[in-house]
Structure 1
Amino acid sequence: MPLSADTIRTLHPYEVKILLALEQLMKHYQWVPLEIIKKATKFSDSELDFRLRRLIARDMIRYDVVPYEGYSLIFNGYDSMALHALAKKKTISSLGCLIGEGKESRVFEALGLGPVALKFHRVGQRSFQSARVNREYMPGSTHCSWLYASRLSAEREFAALKILHESVNVPLPIDHNRHVIVMSFIPGVNLNKCTLEAPEEVFDEIIRNIRAAYLCGVIHADMSEFNIMVSDGEVTLIDWPQWIEPAHPNAIPILENDLGNLIAYFKRKYNLSYALEEIVQCVIT
């Protein structure tokens, strides 16, 4: 079932209570047994059965018997919890259409005090083990479900935007809840989807912003033509959950990879040539 404002508005308080219970209990269970949910919610057998069936029908939770009989919160349910909390705070008033989807995120239009964008982090949506290996901020030796991983990813990106927004062209961070970030709506299209009239000027502007981020203590660590928005020649750098500090032991190789991706893209599409060593020095000095 697609995410919708109507779905959120019609959630019964008992269903919200079940979702909250599952969120907490999944810190200890991959699949939460029925008796544990009943103990946490204190609902009667009939009430609990009715509410669980409604949540399953709305694709917010899942039931399985393997490896044992139990219930699990899934992304639509977690999305609904975050939206419910943001609406209660009046950060958002309505939810619009899907405007972007990546491997580990979905972005929707919404209304708050004005137009905003909602980014739903979905770490592990396709490969949780790959996400665990590739993200240093995820604990490797403790239980770390996709809920926790997605929440950590959103918190990291929100922290980066707060550090950067005064000096770097990034979305303005407005609020966040669980795995969802509310930020300013950025017009334009991704760099990979447009043809630039002045590619040299745009490249220079991208490097200026990457240098400004470096001076703020932030290296993107996943920079490419897919993470840059362009509108009327102005650029906005997006998608910051994997950022690292310049003090990181692999900071320079990671920065070189970011810049190398951009150099290769501008060479491939616009036949522009830049020396990686010179661009790196431009950023770090």
Structure 2
Amino acid sequence: MPIDADIIKSLHKYEIRILHALERMMKRYRWVPEDDLRAAVKLSPPELKYRLGNLIHRDLVRSDSVPYKGYALVFAGYDALALSDLAGKKTISALGCMVGVGKESEIYEALGFGIVILKLHKVGQRSFQTLKTNREYMPGEGHCPWIFASAKSAEREYEALKALNGKVSVPVPIDINRHVIVMSQVPGANLIRCVLEDPDTIYRQILDEVQKAYAAGFIHGDLSEYNIMTDGETVWLIDWPQWIPPTHQNADAVLRHDLENVITYFAKKYQTNYDLEEAVAFVTKP
């Protein structure tokens, strides 16, 4: 469901206090006990009940009564905290429309210093266990709800964008808060949505960018026609949370998979015949 900016703007200071408390306490509890929450926010029982009712009605908080009465922050509540903080810092001044949605993210336009892009990392319930198993940056032990897994994913991508900015054609990172990255708007469209007049030139540009990223210490890890953008003349590589360094034990296999995805896509759509071994040799050249 798209974010309702009016709901975020209308939150009472007590409701923001409750959201912050739930965020802190969910590092210890899956469901924060009502008594512990009341002690943390220091509100009277009637006031707490009223404010929690508002938050539940707006789908920012969820409650359960088994095995005890407890409350949990959900993604919409986490969105509210992140966007409120970004607005308070003047990083963004207005939220625009949702412009994209993926398996683990939502993309919005917003106003900052001009039009910017917000990427909200959202690791879903079904993908969480796979993510913990397959992505080494995720904690292997302890309680890590999906909202905090999403913040880890955002931190990982922001790290890559900062390191690659100015070296590789990627969106410019502007700010990060929790699971939300603010970045520059990239012109053009995802490769899957384009019909290229000169596929050879675009393919060579993609290899150039992959090579520059490799030289900077980054293998994308999930490269495909869905996370390459182009305006027909320039390409940008997006979506970096799964990157690994070239020194990783699986680096060769991951790089080959990235390049094979690109080569297969061009072959199917444009009947090209690019060679995987040549591409690997080009990217990894000293």
Q: TM-score range by the shorter chain?
A: over 0.9
**How well do the aligned residues superpose, as a CA RMSD in angstroms?**
1.0
Residue aligning to 2:58: 58
- CA 1:66–1:188: 2 relative to 1, 3 Å: farther
Residue aligning to 2:232: 232
Residue aligning to 1:91: 91
Deviation digits for residues 172-228 of structure 1, max 9, x if unmatched? 000000000000011211101111110010000000000000011010000000011
Are 2:2 and 2:98, in contact at CA under 8 Å, matched by a contact in 1?
A: no
Q: Which 5+ residue runs of structure 2 have no aligned equivalent? A: none
Q: Which has the higher mean CA deviation after the structures are superposed, 232-241 or 111-120? A: 232-241
Q: Could you tell me how far 1:146 is from its partner in structure 2?
A: 1.0
The separation in 2 between residues aligned to 1:148 and 1:135, in whole angstroms, is 14
Query: Aligned pairs, how many?
Result: 285
Residue aligning to 2:130: 130
Deviation digits for residues 28-82 of structure 1, max 9, x if unmatched? 0001111010010010000000000000111101011234321110000000100
The separation in 2 between residues aligned to 1:224 and 1:68, in whole angstroms, is 46
Residue aligning to 1:273: 273
Deviation digits for residues 67-114 of structure 1, max 9, x if unmatched? 432111000000010000000000000000000100000000000011
Task: Give me the identity figure in percent.
Answer: 56
The separation in 1 between residues aligned to 2:191 and 2:233, in whole angstroms, is 10
Residue aligning to 1:244: 244
Are 1:169 and 1:237, in contact at CA under 8 Å, matched by a contact in 2?
A: yes
Q: TM-score, normalised by structure 2?
A: 0.97
Q: Which 5+ residue runs of structure 1 have no aligned equivalent? A: none
The separation in 2 between residues aligned to 1:27 and 1:227, in whole angstroms, is 32
The separation in 2 between residues aligned to 1:191 and 1:246, in whole angstroms, is 25
Residue aligning to 1:111: 111
Amino acid at match of 1:136: E
Residue aligning to 1:45: 45
Are 1:103 and 1:126, in contact at CA under 8 Å, matched by a contact in 2?
A: no
Deviation digits for residues 243-278 of structure 1, max 9, x if unmatched? 011111110110000001001111111111111111
Q: TM-score, normalised by structure 1?
A: 0.98
Residue aligning to 2:184: 184
Are 2:98 and 2:108, in contact at CA under 8 Å, matched by a contact in 1?
A: yes
Structure 1 stretches of at least 4 aligned residues deviating more than 4 Å after TM superposition: none
The separation in 1 between residues aligned to 2:136 and 2:183, in whole angstroms, is 25
Pair 1:212 & 2:185 matched: no
- CA 1:183–1:46: 2 relative to 1, 3 Å: same
The separation in 2 between residues aligned to 1:122 and 1:66, in whole angstroms, is 26
